[in-house]
Amino acid sequence: MSTAIDNFTKKLHDNLEAVEDRAKSLKENIQSAPKRTQAEIQSKLDEAKTKLDAKKHEFDEYRAKLKTQFEEKESEVKSSVEEWKVNREVKKLEHRADKAEDYAATATLLAIATIEEAEKATLEAIAARLDAEAATATTGN
């Protein structure tokens, strides 16, 4: 394999490991939620909100970039790519490869962002359920 492919796959592998780690963390948080107090869940929720607020601009940029990249991909005519291959238009093919690698990296980073948002949403749901249960216990309904 070429060095460019090796570098790309290593970076992608690292990003996918980060996705996997975030997913495992979310799973552990969900599994341990019933054992936590409302204060502990609220603390985790506040922490998740703070992290997301700090990264909101970055995540919005990923989303916008991914949308733009998707639109560019859609507008890239397949017949043009075939023509580039036949005519050995290396610069155009390299540019296309660079864009494709950047698209993959952005999609992976957005996956991480989405998992973090899912974690916050899950904690909000658990906190809301605890509020409802506490209200039920107080009123006896």
1: pLDDT confidence band, cut at 50, 70 and 90? Answer: low
The tally of CA atoms less than 13 A away on the side-chain side of residue 85 is 7
Does 140 score more than 80 pLDDT? Answer: no
| CB-based contacts of 3, cutoff 8 Å, min separation 6 | none
- Judged by phi (left if over 0) then psi (alpha if -120 to 50, else beta), residue 36 lies in beta
Residue 91: its pLDDT value, please? 92
Only one residue has tokens 């605890």, namely 130
74: pLDDT confidence band, cut at 50, 70 and 90? Answer: confident
Does 68 score more than 70 pLDDT? Answer: yes
What are the Cα distances from residue 101, in Å, to 36, 98, 113, 124? 42, 5, 19, 35
Other Cβ atoms closer than 10 A to 68:
12
Residue 80: its pLDDT value, please? 83
Query: 84-120: per-residue pLDDT in tens?
Result: 888 998 998 998 889 888 888 888 888 888 888 888 8
Other Cβ atoms closer than 10 A to 19:
15
Cα separation, 59 vs 119, in Å, equals 15
Does 59 score more than 80 pLDDT? Answer: yes
Does 17 score more than 80 pLDDT? Answer: yes
Cα separation, 8 vs 30, in Å, equals 33
